[in-house]
Amino acid sequence: MLTEVTATRYIEPLRSGGSVPGIVEADDLGTYVVKFTGSAQGRKALVAEVIVGELARALGLRVPELVLAWFDPEIAAHEPHQEVREMLSASAGLNLGMDYLPGAADYTPEVAKRFPVGPEEAGRIVWLDALTVNVDRTVHSSNLMVWPTFGTAPARLWLIDHGAALVFHHRWDTSAPEKAYDFRHHALGHSAPDVRAADAELAPQVTDELLRAIVAQVPDAWLAGEPGFAGPEEVRAAYAGYLSARVKASERWLPTDFPGREELAAEEGRRAERTRRGRPDWLKRVPDLHGRPAAEPDWSAHLG
């Protein structure tokens, strides 16, 4: 089961996403990014975080440690923004914390050029997202982090923010677990993801026993009162049942329509040409200087 901690200090909110998570310190001396039950996404986003995050971990993918974080809004009374205070006031009790990765860098297109991800790792991540219907790991918002970005340890790719996955639970549409989704704009689509190899490796690992163990970690409080269900155990069974049926139907939804390297290179060339044509005449004569800014860290020693 997930470890429980108590938040002792609220440091600041993070405004990079719509849920406005907060950085907190806890009584175990750890620092966490906490997602709150009072956010606009509500408890279902936290349920998705637990199920998808722990499933990813069980399959050998890197996800920061998840904890259940008890939160008292009084420790954030100094928060100056009223809308954030209101959200925190509505979040008293049990929330979800994710281990804070100090100095981690967002996996942006610029970072991707210096941190290529191989087809095998890309395929495993895409496969997980397709299985869990995660619609929020795109080229515009990767929800991937590179960490560490300093020292001698090799930088690795970490998966974060799975609150937008499991879209079926918003209306409990479990009628078509074989449904395919458009993953052509996945953040790792440019890495030629080998999803067939991932399917052969990972699908046998997603057993009914594993799914039951994972959904058991979701607190009753986040499942209680779900319309159409008699109680939390029925809701857990619905999650496990849907994912079990979906993994068995992987041949129907397996995403394979990703552009090849030549197609990507051609698309990049067309984009560069459009950019060049859009520049004023005087600027077209100026070299296109897109070197790495001096303030960025030198990744060459520890990317691997």
pLDDT digits (tens, 9 = 90+) for 13-27: 997 767 899 999 999
Tokens coding 73: 């809004």
Are residues 178 and 119 located together in one domain of the fold? yes
Give the domain extent around 192: 105-253
pLDDT at residue 261, as a whole number: 62
- With cut-offs at 50, 70 and 90, classify the pLDDT of residue 281: low
| Three-class DSSP category at 278 | coil
Strand partners for 10: 24
Residue 122, pLDDT > 80, answer: yes
Residue 214, pLDDT > 90, answer: yes
Q: Is 142 a member of any domain?
A: yes
Phi, psi of 266 (to 5 degrees): -65, -40
pLDDT at residue 178, as a whole number: 96
Q: Are 166 and 47 in contact (CB under 8 A)?
A: yes
Last residue of a domain, one of 208, 223, 253: 253
Mean pLDDT throughout 217-237? 97
- With cut-offs at 50, 70 and 90, classify the pLDDT of residue 149: confident
Q: Are 44 and 170 in contact (CB under 8 A)?
A: yes
Domains in the chain, number: 2
- With cut-offs at 50, 70 and 90, classify the pLDDT of residue 302: very low
Q: Find the helix or strand (DSSP H, E) in which 158 lies.
A: strand 156-159
pLDDT at residue 17, as a whole number: 66
Q: Is 89 a member of any domain?
A: yes
User: What pairing do the DSSP bridges indicate for beta strands 93-99 and 66-71?
Assistant: antiparallel
HEC assignment per residue over 46-100: HHHHHHHHHHHHHCCCCCCCEEEEEECHHHHCCCCCHHHHHHHHCCCEEEEEEEC
Residue 271, pLDDT > 50, answer: yes
Q: Find the helix or strand (DSSP H, E) in which 164 lies.
A: none
Are residues 93 and 144 located together in one domain of the fold? no
Taking the C-alpha atoms of residue 99 and residue 63, their distance in angstroms, rounded to an integer, is 9
pLDDT at residue 193, as a whole number: 95
76-105 pLDDT, tens digit per residue, is 999 999 999 999 999 999 999 999 999 999
Are residues 92 and 116 located together in one domain of the fold? no
Mean pLDDT throughout 203-213? 98
Are residues 84 and 219 located together in one domain of the fold? no
